[in-house]
Amino acid sequence: MINNLDIKEQLRSFFDPKAVAIIGATNKKGKVGNVIFENFKRNKERGIFKGNIYPVNPKLDEIDGYKVYHSVEELPDDTDLAVVAIPAPAVPETMRKIAEKGIKAVVIITGGFGELGEEGKRMEQEILEIARAHGIRVIGPNCVGVYVPDTGVDTVFLPEEKMDRPKSGPIAFVSQSGAFAAAMLDWAAMAGIGIGKMVSYGNKIDVDDADLMEYFAQDEQIKVMTFYIEGVKDGRRFMEVAKRVTKIKPIIALKSGRTEYGAKAASSHTGSLAGQDVIYDAVFKQTGIIRAEDFEHMFDLAKAFAKCKLPKGDRIGIITDGGGAGVMASDAVAKFGLKLAELSEETLRFLREKFPPHAVVGNPTDVVGDTDAERYRLALEAFTKDPNVDAILVIVLFQVPLLDEEEVIEIIADYAKKSDKPIVAVSMGGYKTDRYAKMLEEKGVPVYPTPERGVRALAGLVRYAEYLRKMGE
């Protein structure tokens, strides 16, 4: 049984604080403490961050019009989140002062702890003991912290001038690696993928995967969770929580350190024990976690889960205006262990009556290169009504001359909304195609640049739906 109120209250201040103290804030442009301060200041000026901002630095009195507090002891009593960006040896003593002040949520950005050896591990243990003794929750150390577009919390120390922030959305993104987290946020912003909350937890001495699974399971904004993991410290709890949470929401995990070389790199990066990859494979299968092969796969899956309904089975219907693309999609259906749907006689008859003789009626149904938007509408009408089709892949080559791009976008989005079957789209091409693909995504349909990636995303939906059915038996 998940303790709903408890975990929500424990982690609330990380995502929506009343007041944030930035310990190590500075007026030196480009320094970590300055970028974090600037993030909060900018979001407050935009009206997104509603809380108070308290920079802390013993050598300054003011930064950009904000009063600077010389010590933690001086902080106002409404401070409920501390972001720590000072040298590692000073962090344990600062934690003591944070504990005395009564602040219950701490993000330690600073690196130079367990990943560097025994002295770092000793400091981590000291910080953890202080946190446990005073009921403090800690994210980090050695991380970029938290990003929440809706509340303006942004501890990512990469400035906006160098890294775009994604818009808000239904995906939670959790990463052990700060650099990976930052790069993915930047990429998600470019790709138009909405991130509801991002947490980079680095060495995760306290708040870990299981805590965040529990939290996001209760977060109404979040529809799907994605995790980049190098190693798990408490395997038993991870499994126990994951088993419960995957029955509520899908969890996608990208686990690195799969090889001997990768495991060694993970150890020196975040001090993680990567463990044998075969064990993680088994754990993910047992707990219903969907394993992503790479970052592209992780976000392909996340996009599908964020936008699509779950299919009732594994029979895929393919509609295309390019024969070759249909063949590639058919191969992918077999490759990912799915089935090509056997269209019903009613569907076949309907399409033969409506389509010109040179169109190919079957699965795939090829509306061919002289198609207009109406042929897509007819095919979607038939496929969505066909009881033999569980999920639909629509390939649209926007380049064909008679196709009204905006009309076909409206048609696909309309059927994706009103049908109880998942519909994903594939659109291959360059800049012009990318523009139309983004328009279709804005209307709630996930779009992929190749048939294989589209089918692989559908396979993720199918496997998760199968897992839920199995758990419900």
Q: Of 380 and 263, which is predicted with more confidence?
A: 380
Name the band, by pLDDT with cuts 50, 70 and 90, for residue 146.
very high
Tell me what pLDDT residue 3 has.
44
Burial (Cβ within 10 Å: 0-12, 13-18, ≥19) of residue 339: middle
Q: Is the dihedral of CA 456, 457, 458, 460 positive or negative?
A: positive
Which helix or strand (DSSP H or E) is residue 133 part of? helix 118-134
Q: What is the DSSP string of 309-352?
A: PPPSSSEEEEEES-HHHHHHHHHHHHHTT-EE----HHHHHHHH
Which helix or strand (DSSP H or E) is residue 200 part of? strand 195-200
Note whether 4-305 and 310-471 share their fold: yes
| pLDDT exceeds 70 at position 268 | no
Give the class (CATH, top level) of 310-471.
Answer: alpha beta
Residues facing 22 on adjacent strands: 55, 83
Q: Give the predicted TM-score (pTM) of the model.
A: 0.91
Name the band, by pLDDT with cuts 50, 70 and 90, for residue 117.
confident
Among the listed ranges 55-64, 256-265, 313-322, which one has the minimum average pLDDT value? 256-265
Tell me what pLDDT residue 279 has.
85
pLDDT in tens, 21-51: 999 999 999 999 999 999 999 999 999 999 9
| pLDDT exceeds 80 at position 68 | yes
| pLDDT exceeds 70 at position 273 | no
CATH architecture, range 4-305: 3-Layer(aba) Sandwich (3.40)
Which DSSP letter does residue 107 get? E
Tell me what pLDDT residue 271 has.
55
pLDDT in tens, 193-231: 899 999 999 999 999 999 999 999 999 999 999 999 888
| pLDDT exceeds 70 at position 1 | no
Q: Of 417 and 3, which is predicted with more confidence?
A: 417
Q: Of 412 and 280, which is predicted with more confidence?
A: 412
Tell me what pLDDT residue 290 has.
97
Radius of gyration of the chain (CA): 25
Mean pLDDT across the stretch 144-152?
98
Tell me what pLDDT residue 233 has.
82
Domain positions in the chain are 4-305, 310-471
Name the band, by pLDDT with cuts 50, 70 and 90, for residue 2.
very low
| pLDDT exceeds 90 at position 160 | yes
Tell me what pLDDT residue 272 has.
54
| pLDDT exceeds 50 at position 422 | yes
Name the band, by pLDDT with cuts 50, 70 and 90, for residue 267.
low
Name the band, by pLDDT with cuts 50, 70 and 90, for residue 473.
low
Mean pLDDT across the stretch 107-132?
93
